[in-house]
A and B are shown apart, each in its own frame.
Chain A
Amino acid sequence: MIEITLRIIVFTFSFLVLFYFFALNTFYLLTNIFAFTSLRRYAGRIKSIEINELLSSAGAPPITLFAPAYNEEATCVDSTRALLTLNYPDYEIMMINDGSKDGTLETMIDAYDMVPTARVPTANIETAGVKQVYRSRKNANLWLIDKENGGKADALNVGLNYCRTPLFCAMDADTLLERDALVRIVRPFLEDASTVAAGGIIRIVNGCTIENGIVTNVRLPKNFLAKFQVMEYLRAFLSGRMGWDAVNAMLIISGAFGMFRRSTVVKAGGYSTSRTAFHTVGEDMELVIRLHRYCRDNDMDYQVRFVPDPVAWTECPESLKILGRQRDRWQRGLYECLMAHRKMLLEPKYGKIGMLAYPYFFFLEMLGPAIELPGYFVLVYVIVTGMISPAFAVTFFMVAVVFGVVLSIAAVGLEELTFRRYPKFSDLLQLFGLAVIENIGYRQMTTYWRIRGFISALRGKTGWGQMERKGFSSTTSANKTDE
């Protein structure tokens, strides 16, 4: 009797796994195809638009850059210098010191001759206390807000409260923006006045050479974990985001680099914190979901876009421990955001978001690891017990792996078709190799971390745990689920 029950369970589960792989790969394939067509169009589009023409025009809207910083004493001066050299006619930099325990504040005050300045807020989103606003006497567009510790989302809300430009750009303190990044990411806002948010591409800086805040030589990292992540990011952005953008259903804008319309974000309530709505480690994804929800609830004409040419460089973790923690957190963030907005699931009122993007993230990205990881064990079990022949199991596994390889290589192809950031031929060949070997080990590891994050989210373990104390250090970049 037990044996029969077990058999039924195993068989049902096997079908679930089969269906999961089928659905996931179908989605990936579709986003890939959409990404291909729209990237090709985009490449042509960029050629017809003179970036510098936008710069010389008086119509470029002013932007405020939010750079939240927690214990960034070592890097804050350099990263601020890089921000000061951005190629944009009218922008303010607002560094928000989130109660750093080190000398971030003093270092900044010294380096840029910061003086306490009066500045009134333009919005009143509830946040941790603001201690003092400073302004640089060296660079009139550089501001520093010193506040009590409250986490990244809280710091961004402080930025929102003090922002007085129509657009703001949210980023991580350690994100390195390319000089043209702002001009490029502002384009959707010029071309379509209903744009409320736009995300740029995140690339991995490990292994590249940086001179004066500019990435001069792009190479693959030496560290293997970082190499895998390069592959992952290429896939996630060039085929994932680009594909979702093509069907106009962008649900994620990485917290490491995104541009938003201030008024809409303020009206939607700002970033989610325990003070405004609920605490989440995925505040960047939550904001985009809420923007969709807010705009659709209010019948607004709006756009959320992904733009593939503005680049933000970010450092990725090179140790298993930190990478594991990052993925764990992303998955928890995903869970928290999706559960908070579960009303949108398959709700026709929310259009493509409710019927397509949300279900995709819910079933395939959130629940996916919970199917995939046990799937590996069931695979072993059915082979050992002879319920399914090894050949069948191996064949099935092979299909999944080879499909993954196709998608990864397609992403490398998309990169070659459009941006060609990796000039070394050997790097290109390496990427091909990575596309194959990431399926053995790395993929399973990320699945394990994600399921760990999922389980801890289920248990209601919210918050940063150990990370709460650390705030958002260099390792806690954005929410980029590996699409």
Chain B
Amino acid sequence: MFRFWKMRGINQHEPVVSSPLGHLEKSVMEILWLRGESSVRDVADHLDRPLAYTTVMTTLDRLYKKGLLDRRKEDRAFLYSPRMTRDEFARARAGDLVAGFLAGPQPSRDLLVSCFLDAVGQHDVEMLGELEKKIRDQRKRLRRRGRQ
């Protein structure tokens, strides 16, 4: 059974989304989300700065062990592909963060709720400000049209 999973290149590791990604890890994930399945060489070629082949290989291996990538062997090289889309990853991270706060002591839960309320309140205030501006602009336009 294990051999079957290995042959299919399906990762047995549970995805770890709670720990933040480093800068290089983020860049590598972005390349894979953009290009799909790629070899170490492909990824190294598309990085914004030149890096040693082995550095990229180690990073891909680390992401594979974190459960974020699948890999399969073709000829003598591994081909890596992301296990989740960018949206799924973002959602899983957000869910993990919220779950972490909710599992924590009462103050951390209150903190989370208060942050949400602040954010929603801020959003409402901004939205009402924008609506008021639109109304003012429309009134000016109407007055100008009335004068003409």
Decide whether A and B are members of one complex: no
Question: Footprint of B on A, CB under 8 Å?
Answer: none
Contacts from B to A (Cβ < 8 Å): none
